[in-house]
């Protein structure tokens, strides 16, 4: 049953590539619904047992899958309305690729076999490439090229990491299937040096995909050039998938008793990401790039949180959930802004409260959310990470962490305030906003809000199960 979550979008996706655009839109949304149903079945453990060693439903995987499925539901809804208002010559390709992309990401979420995980992550790159270059403008071509090449190189290195992990097993003459679940059982016997080497390549390889600095370079280009629904999916779901891959390896390291080392590596990369995004959010001129850098920052925060472990790991997982919700909402709002103003340059936007009030509202609310203000969830997660980090005695790390947060907030708030509040010279609006397009971002934000007020026990349990394997606990 589990495999259906990627079989179905795969099949429908291929079909949609060859079907007319109108049918494709319907198929897109209905597949999203079906995918959500299967995810729910899996979430509540209602489906039958697995018959394969390649896949498994780990708690962290289920978490990523659930976020993915939930986001895709709203993003596909948005896409349906969005497509109704923009002219896209290759719409079937776009819709089909969205589904294929969904399929690949679902596969990442449930992959257990190391190489299968690698295959799935590489597949996400390839399936999402068409989404970025669907406009075929010079900029989008450049973005796609960088995306595909850099990510492929990175992920190729991750393959090397896989080999090293496998070899660490051979060095100690153990023979178990090379899936994470079975490796975890023998983790303590693995050769530490090769495991460390494997981890490095894992982190650098999948970190490229996750947007960890200094391998993040493709991310701002790709996220800003992709059509907004695709950007939302890239930022909200894909990055989580890449993170999942890194997380799996960290888990293995932790079980093997090398948690200290992998934690340090994750914290270092996380902080580097935050600093780099601070550099580029200050004085940014393009609002989609700003959001992209903010994704880098948040991936950095998650990496730091996971690296610190303990309470911070819980915070990191919460951060992942809320970041996905809020960031995809922001990207969808950005899509509305782009439709309205016809430009991604911040200087040419303005007076949003008057011209695009609903979008202005969602955009600013999303910004408040991403900056860690209540009532949105990132407030809780960032607070937990800070508390956890100090508890763990990582004073320097938390110093840099806070410093970057302040810088990023200073940079981003200036831009967002300019966009939403400043006076625009003329009142030209290309496409007036509609409820249909404003609703998905609102709903996503409301979900984040609802999860702050009431977190379902099953999510809480899942997070706890997920982080228990890296020493994460809610009790410090």
Partner 1 sequence: MIHISNIFLAMILLSVLLSLRSNRLMALVKLMAFQGIVVSAVPMVLDTAHGLTFNLIMFFILLVLVKGILIPGMMSVAVNKVVASREIEPIIGYHASLFAGLIMIVFSVYITNQLNLASLAASHKLLLVTGITTMGAGLILLMARRKAITQVIGYLMMENGIYLIGTALAKEVHTQYVVEFAVLLDLLVAVLVMGIVLNDINHTFDDVDTALLGQLKD
Partner 2 sequence: MNIFFLALLLIGVGGTQALTTFKRYSLMKTGAVLAIITGCSIGAVDAATRLLQHAEPVIYTHSWLQIFTFSLKIDAVSAFFLVPVFAISAIAALYSFQYLHDAKRAAGTAINYFFYALLIISMALVVCANNLISFALAWELMSVASFFLVIYDVHKKATRGAGYIYFIFTQAGALFIFAGFGFLYSHTGTFGFEALASIPDSAKLIAFILILIGCGSKAGIMPLHVWLPYAHPAAPSHVSAVMSGVMIKMGIYGIVRFYLLLEPTSVVFGQIVIILGISSGILGVVYAIGKQDIKKMLAYSSVENIGIILLGLGVGMLGAASGNKTMAAFGFAGGLLHVFNHSIFKSLLFMGAGSVLHQTKTGASNQLGGLMKTMPVTGRSLLIGSISISGLPPFNGFISEFLIYYGAIHGLSLHGASFVLSALAIIALAVIGALAAAAFTKFIGVVFLGEPRTANAANACEAGVLMGTALSLLAAACLIIGIWPYYFVQAAFLVTQAIPLVADYTTTDFMPIMTNISRTAALFIFLFIIVTVLRKIFYIGKEVTKSGTWGCGFTQPTVRMQYTGTSYADSMVDFFRPFIRVQKKYSGIEKIFPGKTTYSSHTLDTSEIGLNFFVVRPVLYLLSKLRWIQHGNIQLYIGYIVLAIVVMLIFI
Binding site for partner 2 (CB under 8 A): 145-146, 149-150, 153-154, 157, 193, 196-197, 200-201, 203-204, 208, 214-215, 217-218, 220, 265, 276, 278-280, 282-283, 314, 353, 368, 371-375, 379-380, 382-383, 386-387, 389-393, 398, 402, 405-407, 409-410, 413-414, 417-418, 421-423, 452, 455, 457, 460, 474-476
Q: At what angle do helices 239-255 and 192-210 cross, to 10 degrees?
A: 170
Choose which of 126, 186, 431, 450 interacts with partner 1 (CB under 8 A): 126
Cα–Cα distance, 288 to 106 (Å, whole number)? 26
Instruction: Give yes or no for residue 225 binding partner 1 (CB under 8 A).
Output: yes
- Alpha-carbon distance 463 to 383, whole Å? 17
| Candidate segments 37-45, 145-153, 339-347, 454-462, binder of partner 1 by CB under 8 A | 145-153
| Cα separation, 99 vs 254, whole angstroms | 35
Beta bridge partners of 55: 111
Q: Rounded to an integer, what distance in angstroms lies between the CA atom of residue 92 and that of residue 100? A: 12
Return d(Cα 122, Cα 126) in angstroms, integer: 7
By rule CB under 8 A, what string of x and - marks binding of each residue 318-357 to partner 1?
----------------------------------------
DSSP string, 52-77: -SSB---HHHHHHHHHHHHHHHHHHH
* 14 lines the binding site for partner 1 (CB under 8 A): no
Specify whether the CB–CB gap between 238 and 105 falls below 8 A. yes
Q: Which does 167 bind (CB under 5 to 8 A by kind): partner 2, partner 1, none?
A: partner 1
Shortest reach from residue 62's CB to partner 2, in Å = 18
Stretch touching partner 1 by CB under 8 A, among 16-24, 29-37, 122-130, 398-406: 122-130
Q: Which residues contact 241 (CB under 8 A, 6 or more apart)?
A: 64, 68, 105, 108, 109, 120, 121, 124, 209
Q: Kindly state the smallest distance separating residue 299's Cβ from partner 1, in Å.
A: 18
Residue from 85, 170, 260, 347 in contact with partner 1 (CB under 8 A): 170
DSSP of 323-389:
HHHHHHHHHHHHHHHHHHHS--BGGG---HHHHSHHHHHHHHHHHHHHTT-TTSTHHHHHHHHHHHH
To partner 1, the closest distance from the beta carbon of 53 in angstroms equals: 9
Shortest CB 442 distance to partner 2, Å? 15
Choose among partner 2, partner 1, none what residue 402 binds, the Cβ cut-off being 5 to 8 Å by kind.
partner 2
Out of 29, 81, 167, 421, which residue is the one contacting partner 1 (CB under 8 A)? 167
Task: Evaluate whether 245 touches 108 at the Cβ level (below 8 Å).
Answer: yes
Indicate the residue among 414 and 434 with the shorter CB distance to partner 1: 414
Cβ(281)–Cβ(240) under 8 Å? no
Q: How far is the CB of 242 from partner 1 (least distance, A)?
A: 15
141 scored as a contact of partner 1 (CB under 8 A):
yes
**In this structure, what is the dihedral angle of CA atoms 294, 295, 300, 301, given to the nearest 10 degrees?**
80
476 binds, among partner 1, partner 2, none (CB under 5 to 8 A by kind): partner 2
Is the torsion defined by CA of 158, 318, 277, 392 positive or negative? negative
By beta-carbon proximity to partner 1, the closer residue of 162 and 249 is 162
- Residue (1 or 450) nearer to partner 2, CB: 450
Nearest to 296 by CA among 213, 230, 218, 221: 213
Residue 162 beta carbon to partner 1: minimum distance, rounded to whole angstroms: 8
Q: Which stretch binds partner 1 (CB under 8 A): 159-167, 233-241, 367-375, 401-409?
A: 159-167
Helices then strands, each counted (H, E), the chain: 20, 0
> In whole angstroms, how close is the CB of 158 to partner 2 at the nearest point?
11
143 binds, among partner 2, partner 1, none (CB under 5 to 8 A by kind): partner 1
∠ CA(5), CA(27), CA(111), 5° rounding?
15
State which of residues 6, 74, 118, 287 lies at the interface with partner 1 (CB under 8 A). 118
Nearer to partner 1 (CB atom), residue 131 or residue 233: 131
Q: Which of 50, 160, 186, 429 binds partner 1 (CB under 8 A)?
A: 160
- From CA 290, how far away is CA 277, in angstroms rounded? 9
Q: How many CA atoms lie within 13 A of 285 on its CB side?
A: 4
Residues 407-436 that bind partner 1 (CB under 8 A): none
Please tell me the distance from the alpha carbon of residue 191 to that of residue 173, in angstroms, as a whole number: 10
List interacting residues with partner 1 (CB under 8 A): 54, 113, 115-116, 118-119, 122-123, 125-126, 129-130, 133, 136, 138-139, 141-146, 148-149, 152-153, 156-157, 159-160, 162-164, 166-167, 170-171, 175, 178, 193, 220-221, 224-225, 280, 284, 289
């Amino acid at each position: 049953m589990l495999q259906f979550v990627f079989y179905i979008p795969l099949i429908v996706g291929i079909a949609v590539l060859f079907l007319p655009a109108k049918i494709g839109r319907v198929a897109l949304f209905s597949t999203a619904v079906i995918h959500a149903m299967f995810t729910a079945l899996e979430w509540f453990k209602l489906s039958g047992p697995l018959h394969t060693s390649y896949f498994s439903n780990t708690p962290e995987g289920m978490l990523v899958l659930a976020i993915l499925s939930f986001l895709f539901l709203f993003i596909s809804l948005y896409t349906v309305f969005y497509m109704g208002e923009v002219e896209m010559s290759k719409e079937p390709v776009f819709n089909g690729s969205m589904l294929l992309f969904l399929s690949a990401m679902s596969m990442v979420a449930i992959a257990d076999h190391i190489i299968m995980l690698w295959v799935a992550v590489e597949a996400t790159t390839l399936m999402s490439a068409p989404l970025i270059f669907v406009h075929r403008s010079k900029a989008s071509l450049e973005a796609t090229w960088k995306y595909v090449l850099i990510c492929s190189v990175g992920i190729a290195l991750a393959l090397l990491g896989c080999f090293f992990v496998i070899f660490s097993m051979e060095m100690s003459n153990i023979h178990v299937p090379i899936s994470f679940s079975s490796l975890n059982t023998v983790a303590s016997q693995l050769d530490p040096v090769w495991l460390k080497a494997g981890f490095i390549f894992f982190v650098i390889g999948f970190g490229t995909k996750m947007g960890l600095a200094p391998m993040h370079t493709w991310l701002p280009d790709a996220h800003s050039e992709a059509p907004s629904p695709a950007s939302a999916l890239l930022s909200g779901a894909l990055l989580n998938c890449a993170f999942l891959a890194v997380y799996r390896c960290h888990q293995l390291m932790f079980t093997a008793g090398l948690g200290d080392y992998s934690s340090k590596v994750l914290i270092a990369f996380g902080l580097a990401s935050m600093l780099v995004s601070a550099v580029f959010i200050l004085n940014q001129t393009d609002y989609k790039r700003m959001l992209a850098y903010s994704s880098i920052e948040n991936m950095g925060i998650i990496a730091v949180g996971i690296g610190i472990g303990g309470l911070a790991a819980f915070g990191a997982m919460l951060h992942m959930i809320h970041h996905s919700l809020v960031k995809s909402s922001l990207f969808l709002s950005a899509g509305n802004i782009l439709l309205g103003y016809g430009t991604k340059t911040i200087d040419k936007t303005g007076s949003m409260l008057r011209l695009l009030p609903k979008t202005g509202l969602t955009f600013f609310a999303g910004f408040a959310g991403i900056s860690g203000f209540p009532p949105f969830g990132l407030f809780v997660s960032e607070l937990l990470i800070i508390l956890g980090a100090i508890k763990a005695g990582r004073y320097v790390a938390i110093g840099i962490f806070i410093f970057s947060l302040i810088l990023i907030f200073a940079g981003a708030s200036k831009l967002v305030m300019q966009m939403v509040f400043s006076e625009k010279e003329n009142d030209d609006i290309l496409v007036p906003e509609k409820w249909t397009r404003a609703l998905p971002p609102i709903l996503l934000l409301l979900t984040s809000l609802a999860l702050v007020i009431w977190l379902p026990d099953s999510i809480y349990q899942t997070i706890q199960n997920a982080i228990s394997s890296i020493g994460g606990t809610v009790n410090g």
